Every structure is written in C-alpha cells, then in structure tokens.
Chain A
Amino acid sequence: MDWLSPEEWSAVALSLRVAIWATVLSMPFGIFVAYALARWNFTGRQVVNGLVHLPLILPPVVTGYLLLLTFGTQGTVGAFLAEFGIVFAFRWTGAALAAAVMAFPLMVRAIRLSIEAVDPKLEEAAATLGASRLRVFCTITLPLTLPGILAGAILAFAKAIGEFGATITFVANIPGQTQTIPSAIYAFLQVPGGESAAIRLVAIAIVIAMGALLASEFIARRIARKVAGQ
C-alpha cells in the first residue's frame, strides 16, 4: 500500500504497538489498584488515589518531564533499570510507559466502578461455600467485573493512541523510534506541504478510534448479557 509514505506507516505501526503494550501491561496493575481502592481500607488510601489521578489533572508536559527525571538515563530509576538493559528514554518503550501512565487513571476509574458494583454478599456466599479469597476473586469478582475491565481497557487504549504531551516531552519526536500518530501529525504540520500527510494520519486516527469503540461496544454487550445471565 503506497498511499502512505514509509514514515507515515511507521508512525501508525508504532502508535498501535505503543498503545497495545501500554494497555496490556498496565491492566494487571490497574485491576489490582482498582480492587485495593474499592475494597481495602488502608491508611494512605487517599494518597494512592491522588497519585493515580495525578496524570489526569497535571499538564501532560509536567508528567512527561517528571517521567524524564525519573526514568531518563540520568534519573534514579532509569539509571538503575539501565543496568539490566531496560532503557526508556528516547525509545518506543518510553512512549509506551508515558502512554500507560497517562491512561492509568482512566483505566482504574472504570474498573473501580465495576468492582464497587459487585455485591460483596456474593463474595461472602462464595467464601461460605469453601472458596479461598483468590478463588472468590477469580470466579466471582473478576467475571462480574469483566465489562468494566473491558471499558477501562478501551478507554486506556484510546488515550494511549492519542497521547501527545507527555510522550513528546519524555521521548521526543524521533521518526521510526518515538514518532506516534499525534507527534507525526504535529511534525507534518510544521513543514510546508505537510497537510496532506497530516490529513491521511487524521483519517487513520479516526478509523482506529471508531474501530476500537465499536469493538468494545460489541464485546461489552456480549459480556453484559452473559454476566446478567440471559
């Protein structure tokens, strides 16, 4: 397909890769944090809640800069991880990290709401039938939360695809390395005659967003029907 230049193609492919990894890898953490916030009463709960929501309220540039300070090669965590060969700065992995951090509050909110909607009395009933906490979680809480987890994943994916500010601050805008669809559109708009390339990427962004939304609606309806028992 030659209606997209190699540069445009690599931006699309990179965006998908970044968004998928960001969504999939943050999912277990998202479920865990959402469960803890919904069900556990621990000291510092409000602090955790605040930290999770921080990327939602901070200017993305601030989040990106904080990521650079922490996970950059000079940063404390970044320098430590670099010894194991894990590098985020100016790599696509950094873009995935930035996308995951920015999308995390949305994912946690959606999952937390659906966990709160699961009647703890059902979990009690499962426990009286001999199920351990882990089994109760896997056989009762998780299946009943599935629509919320899916909604959270789609939201996170959409956010990850569209993430711009934190990404460009943290990992810059290197074609083929860290240039996702939004940064590519931004770059094309900076050069004379780049509008047509920008328009093509805009169209692709719309198609991806609509596709994700429709897929989630379809799956959510199927799951909801199954969970509601019809």
Chain B
Amino acid sequence: MSLSVSLRHGFGDFALDLGFDAPQGITVLFGRSGSGKTTIINAVAGLLTPDSGRVVLDDRVLTDTKTGLNLPPNKRNLGYIFQEGRLFPHMTVRHNLLYGSALADRSRTGPGLDQVLELLGIAGLLDRRPTALSGGEKQRVAIGRALLAKPRLLLADEPLAALDEARKSEILPFFERLRDEVSIPVLYVSHSAAEVARLATTVIAIQDGRILRQGPAIEVLSDPMVTPAGVRAAGAVLEARVAVHHPDGLTELDAGGQAIFLPRIDRDIGARLRVRIAAQDVILSKHEPEGLSALNILPAEVEQIRAGEGPGTLVSLRTPAGSVLARVTQRSAGNLGLAPGARCFAVLKSVAVAPQDVG
C-alpha cells in the first residue's frame, strides 16, 4: 500500500502547501495545533476539498483537482478515528461497531467482530450506550468501528488528545498492536512527542503548513533542527531489547550493546521496545563523571548543534545506543567546548524516563 498526497489549501492567512508519500505502518503527521495536520487528514478523508491537490491510495485516485475528481467520503473505503470518538448516541455499542461493516465491500477482507472485540477488549460493552462508557472505552469502540468498516487506510486525528494520561496508556498499546498485528496502514495526527516516539514508523514533521522533514521515526526525532512541537518536547528515540530484570526494581535494556538502566518495565526478556529520551533530561559532561547517582553514562560524539533564540541549544549526539538529543544552555555548550566531532559523556537519570515514553 502507498498513500500519495499533494495539497495546496489556504484559509485566512494560513497556507498549506506540501506533498508526501506514506509507506506501510503508522505514518504520523507531527506538529503543533494549527500547523495544518487536521486539514491534511480531512482532505484525505474527503471531508474537505483542497484548493488544489491530488490524493492517491494505491492505484486509486481519491482526489484530483485537475480533473475535478473528488470522491465523497463514503466512496473512499477509509476508517476515520476522530479525537472525540463521535459515537452515535442513539445506538448501542454493537450497532455503532457494525454501522460501517454492513456497508463495507463484502469482497474485501478485514478483521471480524470477534477479532476486534478481542483486540480492543470491548466484548463486555456490546449492549451499552455510548453515554454509559468512559472516555477510554468510547475511543476503543471508535477504533473498532473504524476497523470493522474494512478500510484500506485508517485515519486517526489525535485519538488520544482528549484523554487523561491513564486512559492514554490504556489506548496506546492498541495502536501498537494495530501496527504490529493488523496490516492496515495508518495516517495518524499528533502533537505529542511521546505518541510519535512510540507509534510512528514514519514521521512527517509539519510546521506552518509545510513539511520540515520526513523519514523514519528514529532519524526525524533525533534531528535537532526538527522540533515541530517546540524544543521543550524534543527528544530522541532509542531502540532497545529487554536484557535483565534486576531484583532491585531496575530493568536493564540492551541498546546497540550499550546497557541502559530504567525503572522496572513489565515486558518479557528479549522484547523489543522504544525508549524516548527527552532532550531536557540529558546532562552532558566533558569528562567521564565519577561518584554520580545517575546510572546511565553514555560515551558520545557531538553531531550537530542548534542554537535556539533563547539561552538554550539543542545538541545531537552519536552514542553506542543510538542518537540522543540533549538540551543545554549556550553557556554550557561554550564552557564544554561542544562542537561537531567533540567527545563528551551523556548522562541520563534512570527515573527521568516516564513510563509512557517506553513501549
């Protein structure tokens, strides 16, 4: 599958002008609110007609303003998961779930009701009405409803943004299972770096209606020049394997041969996972520190330095574990003599990594 999008659209003094291809897996449109992400996803869904543009899914042209072709939403075979769920209030969960599947092309294969109920853990909710569901349950039903329409492509517009942290961590694993177990490609809109880090196969970083950078998540997130959600939210992603669960409550990860100690992670030995290291949780040291409480000290080489408008800089570092971003002051960067190619040590407190940044 491949989705190919090129769009130009203006409203007020905002102009969207971009193009991208989304490969298999979860492609995240990553940017601040107001950057144009929802406009893009609505144009793909057919809910918005762009001033000019072309949307092609596999070999099927969905929108082409040159030829005047613009399929209505119901002819596009897409599943759309909205931020607010948008369950039909006058129907039970069962009827909500089956609304799209009754209309889906019978020749297409897709997950069945039993599979979706199991995947999302919503078998017990079938006879309830949406008003009797919690926020997390509603969103799970909305995901199931979209899946059961046998879509060629799933669209998700900030599906977790309206939920609190606990509910978020309840839903995130379902998207991970979706990515890993159901072979439906997903176009996912988010402004949350943590979600991007955990879910994205491909990241398309968007700012003010334009693409800053697109590529594999690991590469885009470790680029100090690309911070669509602001430098405070910057952070690189390491790919690691669970190595040892230590009896003192720490889990040892193996990231490219480098040991990383984090608070206990409930995953089996050998499980692969991603760890997001927030740039502002990383301390840099010119010499290998001794007598330090922080457990993770990684030898590093400076790749790139981006000076911000304020007193801060964003430094990207190459370590045995992968690329790491660090946010330090310009003064420190000067004192340490940081420059591309310079060697230093990156220090990370184990407890600084939040549970939602691991998965």
Contacts and interface: CB of A to CB of B under 8 A. Distances in A.
Contact of A129 (B46, B103, B132): B103
B38 to A, nearest CB: 12
Interface in B163-197: none
Interface in B26-68: 45-47
Given A131-B103, A230-B131, A122 B86 contact: yes
A124 B45 CA distance: 10
A227 B72 contact: no
Contacts of A226: 90
Interface stretch (B15-23, B75-83, B109-117, B294-302): B75-83
Contacts of B77: 130
Contacts of B47: 124, 127-128
A127 B90 contact: no
B12 to A, nearest CB: 19
Interface string A68-82: 000000000000000
Contacts, number: 76
Given A229-B130, A230-B129, A230-B131, A128 B84 contact: no
B74 A125 contact: no
A189 interface: no
Interface string B68-102: 00001110111110101010111100000001100
B104 interface: yes
B170 to A, nearest CB: 22
B131 A128 contact: no
A121 B84 contact: yes
B198 interface: no
A171 interface: no
A6 to B, nearest CB: 47
Contacts of B46: 127-128
Contacts of A54: none
B149 interface: yes
A189 B11 CA distance: 67
Contact of A229 (B82, B84, B86, B90): B90
Interface in A115-152: 119, 121-122, 124-133, 135, 139-140, 143-144
A144 B74 contact: no
A58 interface: no
B86 A144 contact: no
Nearest to B75: A130
Interface of A: 119, 121-122, 124-133, 135, 139-140, 143-144, 226-230
Given A125-B88, A229-B91, 8 more contacts: A121-B84, A122-B86, A128-B45, A130-B74, A130-B149, A131-B99, A227-B89, A228-B131
